[in-house]
């Protein structure tokens, strides 16, 4: 039976008045994973393990207010949240990173590429609403209900099925892991930031991971984005998935990220990560 990969190391990084908990694992070129609205870094658990296993350094900052991360929210914009990610990359001292944002996290990734291009090798957008207009009111209402811990589970599941999960997927997997106060604060930060600021992700190469059934981040918007920005955008469609694609189809998302990372760092020789070694029955300390 394959052994379980070693858990990530938890470190603390200072970003101005904020203190950020960061889950770190693996060695090699750095891939930063930025989670969705009102949710934390553990949504990426399966993806982080696979990236580690094929030889990448994975950095997962917890947003302010989640885990041990803390910091002010008054007047905070996406530029401030992008500065948090910048502090994490600089602290790691591994050079420019492949910065991947899921859903709301994609705007933080694009903002970072805009204001600190020196720290960004490329941007990954997963289930990204790249439109210049906010989500429709009914969608925002469903997101709020999904995160409302005082609502009945069946109401929340219906809301999540509508807005986050493809037909046939089990929305119950996201009943836990919500942080409503963080969601509300992040929403304000996003609304305070003009969408034109982060739209183009600076001049960075972009991997656009598009779910096949996403009411928030539609396939036609992915096509429009590529038309607008040209050859620096690569679009990959993930079948049988919606906005929660990272938990619906983690293997397919991981494969897309790995294939793109290998093009970013063609000279990097992927090494066996901790999970890979354990699956072969090897002791990482002796490898």
CB atoms within 10 A of CB 24: 20
pLDDT interval class at 277 (50, 70, 90): very low
Buried b (16+ CB within 10 A) or exposed e, 149-173: eeeeeeebbebbbbbbbbeebebee
Helix (H) or strand (E) holding 12: strand 9-15
In the chain, what are the domain boundaries?
9-132+179-286
Task: State the helix-helix crossing angle for 78-92 and 104-115, rounded to 10 degrees.
Answer: 70
pLDDT interval class at 271 (50, 70, 90): low
* Mean pLDDT taken over the chain: 91
- Please tell me the distance from the alpha carbon of residue 268 to that of residue 161, in angstroms, as a whole number: 40
DSSP-assigned letter for residue 60: E
Q: What is the mean pLDDT of residues 125-131?
A: 90
**What does the pLDDT look like over 47-106, one tens digit per residue?**
999 999 999 999 999 999 999 999 999 999 999 999 999 999 999 999 999 999 999 999
**Would you state the structure tokens that stand for residue 95, as one six-digit string?**
């050079």
pLDDT at 3: 38
pLDDT interval class at 270 (50, 70, 90): low
Is the pLDDT score of 135 beyond 80?
no
pTM: 0.91
Is the pLDDT score of 275 beyond 80?
no
Is the pLDDT score of 285 beyond 50?
no
pLDDT at 215: 87
Determine the longest span between alpha carbons in the chain, in angstroms. Answer: 56
**Would you state the structure tokens that stand for residue 235, as one six-digit string?**
């679009």
Is the pLDDT score of 165 beyond 50?
yes
Task: Tell me which of 3.40.50.1820, 3.30.9.10, 1.10.600.10, 3.30.390.50 is the CATH number of domain 9-132+179-286.
Answer: 3.40.50.1820
**What does the pLDDT look like over 189-218, one tens digit per residue?**
999 999 999 999 999 999 999 999 998 888
Q: What is the mean pLDDT of residues 115-144?
A: 90
pLDDT interval class at 129 (50, 70, 90): confident
Least confident of 25-34, 216-225, 230-239: 216-225
What separation in angstroms does the CA of 120 have from each of 19, 32, 86, 101, 161?
21, 10, 9, 12, 34
pLDDT at 140: 86
């Amino acid at each position: 039976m394959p052994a379980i990969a070693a858990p990530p190391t938890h470190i603390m990084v200072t970003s101005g008045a904020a203190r950020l908990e960061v889950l770190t694992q693996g060695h090699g070129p750095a891939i930063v994973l930025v989670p969705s609205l009102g949710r934390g870094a553990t949504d990426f658990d399966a993806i982080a393990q696979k990236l580690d296993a094929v030889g990448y350094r994975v950095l997962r900052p917890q947003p302010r207010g989640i885990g041990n991360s803390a910091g002010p929210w008054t007047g905070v914009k996406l530029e401030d949240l992008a500065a948090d990610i910048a502090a994490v990359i600089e602290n790691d001292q591994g050079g420019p990173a492949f910065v991947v944002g899921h859903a709301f996290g994609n705007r933080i990734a694009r903002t970072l590429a805009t204001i600190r291009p020196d720290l960004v090798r490329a941007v990954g957008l997963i289930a990204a609403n790249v439109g210049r207009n906010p989500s429709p009111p009914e969608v925002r209402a469903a997101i709020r209900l999904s995160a409302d811990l005082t609502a009945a589970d069946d109401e929340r599941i219906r809301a999540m099925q509508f807005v986050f999960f493809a037909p046939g997927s089990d929305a119950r997997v996201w009943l836990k892991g919500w942080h409503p106060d963080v969601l509300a604060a992040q929403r304000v930060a996003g609304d305070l930031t003009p969408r034109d600021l982060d739209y183009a992700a600076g001049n960075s190469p972009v991997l656009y991971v598009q779910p096949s059934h996403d009411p928030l981040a539609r396939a036609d918007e992915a096509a429009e984005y590529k038309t607008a920005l040209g050859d620096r955008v690569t679009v990959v469609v993930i079948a049988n998935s919606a906005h929660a694609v990272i938990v619906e189809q983690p293997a397919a998302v991981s494969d897309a990220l790995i294939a793109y990372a290998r093009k970013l760092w063609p000279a990097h020789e992927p090494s066996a990560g901790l999970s890979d070694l354990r699956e072969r029955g090897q002791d990482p300390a002796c490898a």
